[in-house]
Structure 1
Amino acid sequence: MSKENLFNAEAIEKLKELSEKARICMFITNLDDKSHLNSRPMGIQECDSEGNLWFISSKESRKNFQIEMDNKVQLYFMNNSNHEYLSILGEAYIYDDRATIEDKWSQMANAWFDGKDDPDVSIIRVAPTEVYYWDTKYGKFITMMHFVSAILVGKKTDNSDGVEGNLKVTQ
């Protein structure tokens, strides 16, 4: 597995690619209390051009209350079918103004809310502070071919098809 740290625009591009392809993450709050971490699946709305990750949430949700108490969060994205993984530590901010809701609203959220005018709608922005990724260097097909080849010839794979590293997103 090779190491490739990315910075600024390249880091944001990789963050956007991996997070939006995975779509769902485990969103973890209450990080300071290791015995009571709270984790739940959340669907990302977008990763913007500055590397912020946006989510739709209920104002009355436990995660919103926990963010108000301590805004440090951890996100884990997994795209197993493409062997892509992302770990994000960040700071979460809650918005309930009409302009932000209008901008970030998705029709999919109607499954949980009575439209974007529902008074319970809030938007969460996660500003990454530390990001680490694991990805395939040559894509899923080539990686699988190398893996199968190693099995057929009876050798261990050298993991050279993988790449991992830090994503430094300047906020």
Structure 2
Amino acid sequence: MSKENLNQTKAIEKLKDLSESARICMFCTDLSKLPITARPMSLQETDKEGNLWFISGDQSNKNFEIKDDNKVQLFFMNKSNSEYKSVFGKAFIYKDKSTIEEKWSPLANAWFDGKEDPNVSIIRVTPDETYYWDTKAGKLVTMLSFVTAAISGKKTDNSDGIEGSLNVKNK
């Protein structure tokens, strides 16, 4: 497995690509208590600055936990492409109409009585530390490599894997 750390624009592009292709993550809060509290959340978007946006119920345990301690960890997995990502960062809750209007999705009507529902909130996660695991050639080529190694009895060098950190902040 090779290592490739990415910075700023390339890091944001990779973050956006991996998170939006997975779409669902395990959203973890209350990180100081074990076991950590995790629940599946659907990503609305990853913006051009690398922020990740979610729609959430303002009265949810997640929101209460964020209000107490805004450190969060997100785990994305796109099994079909063998892509994985871990994001540690800070979460911020928005209740203003303009942010709700901008980030609203009609799919959220399954949980809310429209965007005017007083329980609607928007969560923005700003990444502090992000790490990814990916394949250079895609899942099919990787699987063929493993199958060939298994049939031939030779070990795979796993050279088509790639991992690294994504630094989305300007330093």
2:127, 2:150 → 1: CA distance?
Answer: 39
C-alpha displacement of 1:145: 1.7
Q: Which residue of 1 aligns with 2:10?
A: 10
Q: Which residue of 2 aligns with 1:38?
A: 37
C-alpha displacement of 1:82: 1.1
Q: TM-score, normalised by structure 1?
A: 0.97
Q: Which residue of 1 aligns with 2:23?
A: 23
C-alpha displacement of 1:146: 1.3
Q: Which amino acid aligns with 1:55?
A: F
Deviation per residue, 1:51-84 (Å, 9 max, x gap): 0000000000000000000000000001112110
1:36, 1:163 → 2: CA distance?
Answer: 29
Superposition pairs of residues 102-113 of structure 1, within 5 angstroms: 102-113=101-112
C-alpha displacement of 1:141: 1.9
Specify the SS of the correspondent of 2:31. Answer: coil
Specify the SS of the correspondent of 2:115. Answer: coil
Moved over 2 A (4+): none
1:16, 1:149 → 2: CA distance?
Answer: 33
Cα gap change, 1:162 to 1:68, in 2 (>3 Å)? same
Q: Which amino acid aligns with 2:165?
A: N
Unaligned runs of 5+ in 2: none
Q: Which amino acid aligns with 1:100?
A: T
Q: Work out the percentage of aligned pairs sharing the same amino acid.
A: 65
Contact 1:74/1:88 (CA < 8 Å) preserved in 2? yes
C-alpha displacement of 1:36: 4.6
Unaligned runs of 5+ in 1: none
Q: Which residue of 2 aligns with 1:69?
A: 68
Q: Which residue of 2 aligns with 1:130?
A: 129
Corresponding position: 1:82 with 2:101: no
Output the aligned Cα RMSD. 0.9
Corresponding position: 1:55 with 2:63: no
Q: Which residue of 2 aligns with 1:121?
A: 120
C-alpha displacement of 1:140: 1.6
Superposition pairs of residues 94-109 of structure 1, within 5 angstroms: 94-109=93-108
Q: TM-score, normalised by structure 2?
A: 0.97
Deviation per residue, 1:126-146 (Å, 9 max, x gap): 000000000001112221221
1:36, 1:58 → 2: CA distance?
Answer: 23
2:81, 2:113 → 1: CA distance?
Answer: 35
